[in-house]
Structure 1
């Protein structure tokens, strides 16, 4: 009931869109192009064992490995750029440039290098997810109060003390903002990698159904991917709320 009260407009709009989708799909009557939501749900129920037991774990493994690498790489690079102007000038333009090249264009190259192994898909996921984590964390580290830093210096604090007392608490909200974006992008990255070349995974299964002109089969794993993205976002949001209770009290 609480969720319904908070998101009444969103849920109502979603129901309206699904209703029009259902009506339009029935009028067109071309299920291989535009299957109805009910047909997709039926297909999802029919394929639940195959999708959840076989293909979902493969996609989740790519997502979690990619996110872990992105967090380590992104936070480490953000801290290094904050501590060193030389590293900042060397890497910041490269980080921006990395987002200028379309990921879909690089994915086939990764597959050429690593084949259909998991690492080609992980690289696609890392390429998409490390950017928001790095930039948001870096901006958070830079946004610490200069007055507070100067006060701590006059009290004899070292740079390490200032980093943990001022920079880290200030950067945490920014880090979680970047992570919330990254977890949703990670689902997209894993799906793109699997779509272009894989032997298992939700993206691979969707592509296989496309070759069979099974519209509902194409949409079924996409719906499951959307649910995974939402659940990951809510998980990060929950961790953020638990970790930043001090900000809520303020």
Structure 2
């Protein structure tokens, strides 16, 4: 019960890595606010997590909606101890110059701007409390870029730098900021990363991962629970590779 008594907001938590993180947090004693663009998915996940957790539909790239999420969490929980910025999108694999401006803006709005918006809404609360843990879900794409995912790669490189910058600034106020960098996993984004989901494409993708498998929601939950727990009280500014050796 390493998160006993902790209150957490997890974005993009209706499915994939976010769902794995939410489930692990509850198993470790936390109460979780499930935030997702998918209203029905958020409510279903909150119901699965059980008493003490609840769902909230929101577009994490919209400042007013993010402020509402944080305000609701503070009202319901009485305070927020943990924020997991997990929501993310990608563009389909293609040459960098062929990605549409609309797709570019969407990738940076969800993957990057959302982190700024949640910081703007929640960091003052954490500073006032003198404690808090923020976890940004980045990607190996930000450390070892793949061709034809240029702007997605770049957005995750931004997340890694933002994580370190946030950590340095917030450390004196008792707030820790870390990131996890998964390789692709069995999530709704997998087919988008690979371009197409066939046995041949999967085999080629898996051949680049020394441990020979995709990241799982459970892998992300285990890493997130540690980094957001008091056991990691001396760890901040770390971008942890949870990638089966992909970035070696």
TM tier relative to shorter chain: under 0.3
**Which is richer in strand?**
2
**Which is richer in helix?**
1
Larger radius of gyration: 1
Higher relative contact order (CA 8 A, sep 6+): 1
- TM-score (structure 1 length as normaliser): 0.26
